[in-house]
Structure 1
Amino acid sequence: MDGVIKANHAVCQGYANCVVAAEDYFDIDDRGLVLVRKTEVPSADRTRVEEAARSCPVVALEVLDE
């Protein structure tokens, strides 16, 4: 099932674990916060992107059903 990435910038602390796990979907912006490169996640990438989101120590990312 396809998904959509939701980022909570209010809690992001710029650890960049998500970038290491899925650099094609995540980056860090000039403020040191997560930048979502692609918000829509096809089913082929969903498991990898969900793992990247779960790697965030402050739970700033979610992958929601579309």
Structure 2
Amino acid sequence: MKIVVDQGKCVGAGQCVLAADDVFDQNDDGLVALLEENPPSERLEDVRHAAAVCPAGAITVQE
């Protein structure tokens, strides 16, 4: 699994951080910051959830 984030789309809602705080954070501007581009497979469900709840569609999960 590989995660791609588009900070240009991010609106800073922070839903990704709530879903997977070991994979996502927010930078000083409040935009998504990717902590782990290739997280372990046991995090897949939470990462998919983070992508699904992102209101801006700024997170893509490539499997």
TM-score, L = length of structure 2: 0.92
What RMSD in Å do the two structures reach over aligned CA positions? 0.8
Gaps of 5+ in 2: none
Percent identity at matched positions? 37
Could you tell me which residue of structure 2 aligns to residue 14 of structure 1? Answer: 12
Tell me which stretches of 4 or more aligned residues in structure 1 moved more than 3 Å: none
Q: Cα distance, 1:32 vs. partner?
A: 1.4
The equivalent position to 1:43 in structure 2, one of 32, 41, 46, is 41
Question: What letter matches 1:48 in structure 2?
Answer: D
Flag the structure with higher strand content: 1
Gaps of 5+ in 1: none
Larger radius of gyration: 1
